[in-house]
Structure 1
Amino acid sequence: MREFMQEHRLTRIGDSFLKYASSVIALGGFLFGYDTGVINGALSFLSQPDQLNLSSAQQGIVSSSLIIGCCIGALLSGRLADRIGRKATLQWVAIIFTIATLGCSFALTSGMLIVFRAVLGVSVGCASDLAPMYLAEISPSEWRSQNVNKNAVAIVIGQLSAFAINAVLGNIWEDWGPIWRVMMGVAALPAFLLWLLSFDLPQSPKWQLLNNSLTQAKKNFRKLGFPKVDIQKNLIRAKEMVKTEQDNLNIKEIFSNKGLVYLLLAGITIGFIQQLSGVNAIMYYGTVLLEKVGMSRGMSLYSNILVGVISTVATLLGTRLIVKHNHQRMLGVGLLGNAVCLGLLTVVLQGNFFSNTGTNIAVLLLLAFFLAVQQGIVSPVTWLLLSEIFPQQIKARFMAISTTVIWLTNFTISLLCPILLGSFGTANLFLTFTCSNIFCVCLTFLILKPHWLKISFKRVK
């Protein structure tokens, strides 16, 4: 009885520390969301003739320069996290976030802004891969999905914060061109806070096991509230990994193993799916899109807040829902919902069924529903899948590759979006994304087979 009470007390302490640690790590997701969302409102101001005077093509370059850095950051994050650890990598990410954010805010030319946004992108790319992986590794099985979903929630809260700050600053100081500098500079505060709080974080005990830090790993397992049974299982699994030396797999060995090839293909497919939905075309260019259909700049900025609120509420509800259902099936349902929303948007814009005010309301509502489905189901499911389909010994590298695919696809879409918008119009842009979501539904059910994933995971494991 005494042993049971002691175990229960340690579990409660572990749960409290786990909640704190997971909240701090999720700050990386908040910064990810803020820095990808802030360009939405800032772009209109920094493009003014008395500021950086950006053309449509230059707008695409400024927006997509962040994504170039994200590709580099995501590609490097796996090896860096394996070499110096998850905690140290997150601390470096926070430092780069802070410096690059201030650099963007004080940029004097479009070239300087592009360079600093690319550097900022390195930290965003690292955070996008590192945060869900770190959260999964410090969480006992019963908390894993919930904690990984904290990152998805933090991303949309970061985007909502960017929209709200943009709207307030952009409407109060609408005649002051340099207000975009304040919009971008605000993110330096949570970035510094992440660095400050990161010193209290535990190292990933699973990473410590693979790096022969057995005593420290056991200490952190207990500190995080892992049950004794789970600790024992992780110890046995780590010994097997070290014994077989699977953590040193080279490229030739990966492609000679059918299970590894399928898991890598599945991760790449998930990366494509998340971005082909078109979500970041709206996140980056939402204000421009709403202005194109007839809204004023001030109303477009405030409309983004409504969209952000709905996305946040949908994420809070959706992350609870997806934990209880088959993740692959939920991904397919979410993508189908995306296609319906974007298809209706295309019809509304091409059909001229309503007055200008009626069209604006219909577009705003359909965009909100699209983002609710995307942010409530599709985005959190993709990050959850990436955090759970790979065995521990290949997780960092395969997640890095999958996340790099996400950012490469994102880069292509963000670069081409203003050009396609200028050449083909808003309605045809939505039609393109309607078709891409239908294509993604097919990919989900053709490639991401739950039983294939389980068989491949067990073979590698």
Structure 2
Amino acid sequence: MDVRHDSGNGGTRTAEVTEGAPPGVSRRLRLVTVVATFGGLLFGYDTGVINGALPYMADDLGLTPLTEGMVTSSLLLGAALGAVTGGRLSDARGRRRTILALAGVFFVGALGCTLAPDTAVMVAARFVLGLAVGGASVTVPVYLAEVSPAERRGALVTRNELMIVSGQLLAFTSNAVIARVGGESGGVWRWMLVIATLPAVVLWCGMLVMPESPRWLASKARFGEALEVLRQVRSRQRAEAELAEVSALAAEEEREGPGGRQGKGATPWLRRLMFVGCGIAIVQQITGVNTIMYYGTRILTDAGFASDSALTANIANGVISVLATFVGIWLLDRVDRRPMLMAGQIGTIAALLLIGVFSLTLPAGDGRAYAVLAMTVTFLAFQQGAISPVTWLMLSEIFPTRTRGFGTGAAAVVLWLTNFLIGLVFPSLVSGIGISRTFFLFVAASVLALAFVRRYVPETRGRTLETLEAELRTRYRNSFAVHRPSGRW
């Protein structure tokens, strides 16, 4: 089934999910999206809270530049393991069950960080928290992609990105408030960290009453249950037609053999998809975005802000991330993914270059401080408005249903390991070669990433997941060289 039809502007549009649907279908779809994306909120808060907590934690725990990097990056190393484990678990046990388990890990990890008596325990607790962050980064977008109708997939999947940046904004804001209220008291950073236990409870309670992914159910030949779920979020006719398409694809995959690790590694077209997926993951991180998310307060302090002022100014980074993500959500179902990704990269390259130039050439003072703040805000506008939404959406789209969790998880492992390495070495780089030259390194890496996107990344907009899978299967089977881009590819 191809549910697309001509939209009159050269693109395609899918028949609306609510046509002929009983009351409550759209409301149910919205509820599923809101509950599942609490995983994104936790992702954002737990990665962003270290930004403001680290200076106070450094005093209480006696951190050095090396141990600062370890505390920050231990979460990222855990996220790499959590991504691949969460991906495989979601393929084997289901998307919903995996998210429920992750909610429990979020709670335990956040509580462990809050109560950590020393650096070693903090690193271990942050690693546990990272398992949940990595698992959520894979499972939540896949769950949303598989529940969403094709014409709303871009908007609904990227609600998770909106919740991620909202979590980061919440972290930045609560850090600033807590610091101003109790900044001189010991252990103020513990109050910053403990807040993350609350959305973990909400996620666990909410997912208890959410449905399983219909596409995962169909991949396990549980077609009756899949149809029941589809009828909750589609019109009756649309649900039956969509199940027929999913069932036909599941039968084709069954004929091709098992979807185990050996089968994945032995299939040339899947290897090509893994190459593209891992490349997209590196592209998202190589801009150095998370240096601003994790060390934004330090960057602004080095630029000339006082410590308290840097905490407050850093809220601007969170605000622009949220606003830019709203713009990104609006654009995703109106603009092709690949050009949007490239435009975001060009914008971030320019902003990174100017951060380096301003830090190197402007004299210390308010002028340099506000110039650097303006460029970090500009950088995040392009990153969160284009690169990050497209990254997580594409990773949830390009892999086939039976191996979607594994494929997305493997790409996310690469993403988190890249994130880990950058987070680990950033303090030492800044200490060794200065902030300007550090950002020039990110500029050079981002130029290479732009060339990769132009050469290898396909377009995914305007297809159902099944149609897209068939197109990519045919494309990569017929040729091992991706065509130089023209039109939608």
- For the aligned pair, the TM-score class normalised by the smaller chain equals over 0.9
1:328 matches 2:338: yes
Kept after mapping to 2: 8 A contact 1:132/1:151:
yes
Q: What CA distance in whole angstroms lies between the structure 2 residues aligned with 1:438 and 1:170?
A: 38
| 3-state SS in 1 of match to 2:21 | helix
1:177-234 deviation digits (Å, cap 9, x = unpaired): 3010000000100111111111111111111111222221111100112552453243
Give the match for residue 341 of structure 1: 351
Deviates more, 1:205-214 or 1:188-197: 205-214
1:135 matches 2:151: no
**1:289 alignment partner AA:** I
| 3-state SS in 2 of match to 1:430 | helix
Deviates more, 1:384-393 or 1:279-288: 384-393
Kept after mapping to 2: 8 A contact 1:140/1:226:
no
**2:43 alignment partner AA:** F
**2:269 alignment partner AA:** G
**1:106 alignment partner AA:** L
Report the alpha carbon displacement of residue 239 of structure 1 after superposing the two structures with TM: 4.1
Q: What CA distance in whole angstroms lies between the structure 1 residues aligned with 2:352 and 2:194?
A: 33
Deviates more, 1:102-111 or 1:171-180: 171-180
Report the alpha carbon displacement of residue 399 of structure 1 after superposing the two structures with TM: 0.5
1:302-356 deviation digits (Å, cap 9, x = unpaired): 011111111111110122113211111111110110000111111111112x561
Give the match for residue 53 of structure 2: 42
Kept after mapping to 2: 8 A contact 1:386/1:399:
yes
Q: What CA distance in whole angstroms lies between the structure 1 residues aligned with 2:292 and 2:356?
A: 14
Deviates more, 1:209-218 or 1:443-452: 443-452
2:380 is matched with which residue: 371, 376, 384? Answer: 371
Give the match for residue 27 of structure 1: 38
**1:103 alignment partner AA:** G
Report the alpha carbon displacement of residue 15 of structure 1 after superposing the two structures with TM: 0.9
Kept after mapping to 2: 8 A contact 1:31/1:124:
yes
| 3-state SS in 1 of match to 2:61 | coil
Kept after mapping to 2: 8 A contact 1:341/1:366:
yes
Kept after mapping to 2: 8 A contact 1:140/1:230:
no
Report the alpha carbon displacement of residue 458 of structure 1 after superposing the two structures with TM: 4.2
**1:24 alignment partner AA:** V
Give the match for residue 95 of structure 1: 104
**Pairwise mapping of residues 52-451 of structure 1 onto structure 2 (< 5 A)?**
52-226=61-235, 228-229=237-238, 231-242=240-251, 244-245=253-254, 246=256, 248-352=258-362, 356-450=365-459
1:141-191 deviation digits (Å, cap 9, x = unpaired): 122111101001000000000000001111221211301000000010011
| 3-state SS in 1 of match to 2:221 | coil
Q: What CA distance in whole angstroms lies between the structure 1 residues aligned with 2:235 and 2:111?
A: 40
Q: What CA distance in whole angstroms lies between the structure 2 residues aligned with 1:251 and 1:127?
A: 22
Q: 1:227 to 1:328 in 2, by over 3 A?
A: farther
Deviates more, 1:354-363 or 1:108-117: 354-363
Report the alpha carbon displacement of residue 372 of structure 1 after superposing the two structures with TM: 1.0
Kept after mapping to 1: 8 A contact 2:279/2:452:
yes
| 3-state SS in 1 of match to 2:284 | helix
| 3-state SS in 1 of match to 2:49 | helix
Where structure 1 has 5 or more consecutive residues not aligned to the other structure, the ranges are 1-6
Q: What CA distance in whole angstroms lies between the structure 1 residues aligned with 2:471 and 2:223?
A: 29
Q: 1:177 to 1:435 in 2, by over 3 A?
A: farther
Where structure 2 has 5 or more consecutive residues not aligned to the other structure, the ranges are 1-17, 461-467, 478-489
Give the match for residue 4 of structure 1: none
Deviates more, 1:226-235 or 1:120-129: 226-235
Q: 1:432 to 1:229 in 2, by over 3 A?
A: same
1:370-420 deviation digits (Å, cap 9, x = unpaired): 011101111001111111112212211110101111101000000000110
Identity %: 35
Report the alpha carbon displacement of residue 364 of structure 1 after superposing the two structures with TM: 0.5
1:255-297 deviation digits (Å, cap 9, x = unpaired): 4433212111110001100110100011111111111122111
Give the match for residue 472 of structure 2: 456
How many residues align structurally?
452
Kept after mapping to 2: 8 A contact 1:272/1:409:
yes
Q: What CA distance in whole angstroms lies between the structure 2 residues aligned with 1:460 and 1:437?
A: 26
Kept after mapping to 2: 8 A contact 1:263/1:453:
no
Q: What CA distance in whole angstroms lies between the structure 1 residues aligned with 2:376 and 2:78?
A: 28
**2:345 alignment partner AA:** L
Report the alpha carbon displacement of residue 248 of structure 1 after superposing the two structures with TM: 2.2
1:73-118 deviation digits (Å, cap 9, x = unpaired): 1011121112221111111100111111011101111111111110
| 3-state SS in 2 of match to 1:248 | coil
Q: What CA distance in whole angstroms lies between the structure 1 residues aligned with 2:253 and 2:359?
A: 59
Deviates more, 1:247-256 or 1:217-226: 247-256
More helix by share: 1
**1:33 alignment partner AA:** G
Report the alpha carbon displacement of residue 63 of structure 1 after superposing the two structures with TM: 0.3
Q: 1:254 to 1:85 in 2, by over 3 A?
A: closer
Kept after mapping to 1: 8 A contact 2:91/2:404:
no
Q: What CA distance in whole angstroms lies between the structure 1 residues aligned with 2:469 and 2:308?
A: 47
Report the alpha carbon displacement of residue 8 of structure 1 after superposing the two structures with TM: 5.1
Q: What CA distance in whole angstroms lies between the structure 2 residues aligned with 1:417 and 1:227?
A: 53
Report the alpha carbon displacement of residue 235 of structure 1 after superposing the two structures with TM: 2.9
Kept after mapping to 2: 8 A contact 1:41/1:163:
yes
Report the alpha carbon displacement of residue 254 of structure 1 after superposing the two structures with TM: 3.5
| 3-state SS in 2 of match to 1:325 | coil
Give the match for residue 3 of structure 1: none
